[in-house]
Amino acid sequence: PSDRLLKFVTVGLPLFLVSLAFAREFSAGSQISCFSPTNFTGKQSAYVDTACWDSLLHHGFDAEGQAVTKSLWALKVFPYSLLVVAVLMYMPYLLWRYAAAPALHSDLLFIIDELDKSYNRSVRLVQHMRKVQQASAEPERFWEEYERARRERYFEFPLLERYLTCKQHAHSLVFIYILRNLLLLLFLAATCLYLVFLHLNIFFQDEFSCSIKTGLLQAEPHIPPLIPCKLVFFSIFQLISLSIGGVYVLLIPVVVYNALQLCQWDKGLLSVYEMLPAFDLLSRKMLTCPVNDLNVILLFLRANISELTSFGRLNAVSALREATANKQDIDTVVDFMTLLAGLETTKPKH
């Protein structure tokens, strides 16, 4: 869910604002308003607006009184720069979608299926034990079945455990995951720095002095050397840049938080399945360095926990385990399944 939110905000927001900027630029007529001399005709005033918009050069004077020029072309290319930002923000998601998502999807389907199968096997075993108890006139036979179930580890699923152990030694998914987050951080930081640069250098200057005394008009005496102009779209571009900058600054901690999730194991997910006797990744200290493919799989498995039917049921069993007074007598899902099936878990003394 957090990935979808990041994708929507980082990519969708610039594209939406780009559409607004282009709509403002192409539908609102002239983007500049110049104060032409009173003796200029309408066509001459329109020429001044066009020439100043094409040049976007501010002619001023420094502290020593020398003439200086400052280009404002960044304002003209601002909508196109937002389009570039949107394309850059989409690149990490393309990398993840085509380089990692197919393999991760197959891993999640396999793990979810195997975990649910282990739970279903335990349910079938309890049903069998229940039938044995009802059909047998000797209670000892039931308890012999019970002890054999615990001794022969009917709940063992070595394929899944070995598969998860193998994923601990793989690093392709985690490499792409870290690379994607680093690219997102890089593009977010670069965009914020670009907007800061615009605000410090350009976005506080909505008025500038334009000169049209170039070419054939350079020798015309009735044309003033400088003509004051005002940018009509200036406030809109300011609002757009502040919106994108504010949202991206807030997204940087979110991306950092997503990346730091790899620094620790999601033991809450695995501990629920630790009740299964053969599933002991945690108890055998098999979870070592968390920066590997298994941790990435667990992160996305947690995000898609609704697809894992057995988790909710085993989580309820885990809550019963915490509420049980004598935890040493009820320590595995076998005991809880027999308890939930209506069987007495305490073996007769005789």
Q: Over 80: is that where the pLDDT of 304 sits?
A: yes
For 267-301, letters b (16+ CB in 10 Å) and e give eebbebbbbbbebebeeeeebeebebbbbbbbbbb
Three-state DSSP class for 339? helix
Phi, psi for residue 229 in degrees, rounded to 5: -135, 160
pLDDT band of 221, cuts 50, 70, 90:
confident
Distance CA(188)–CA(186), nearest Å, equals 6
Strand partners, 70: 58
Report residue 274 CA to chain centroid gap: 30
Distance CA(43)–CA(260), nearest Å, equals 62
Average pLDDT over residues 245-255: 87
Residue of 188 and 78 predicted with greater confidence? 188
Q: pLDDT value at position 310?
A: 80
Summarised one tens digit per residue, pLDDT across range 140-173 is 666 676 666 666 555 555 677 788 888 888 999 9
Distance CA(271)–CA(178), nearest Å, equals 26
Distance CA(172)–CA(175), nearest Å, equals 5
Helices (DSSP H) in 136-275: which residue ranges? 139-151, 158-168, 172-201, 234-260, 267-273
Count of CB atoms situated within 10 Å of the CB of 82: 25
Q: Among 10-14, 133-137, 313-317, which range has the highest average pLDDT?
A: 313-317
Q: Over 50: is that where the pLDDT of 27 sits?
A: no
Q: pLDDT value at position 258?
A: 85
Q: pLDDT value at position 311?
A: 83
- Report pTM: 0.75
pLDDT band of 193, cuts 50, 70, 90:
very high
Place of tokens 């050069």: 57
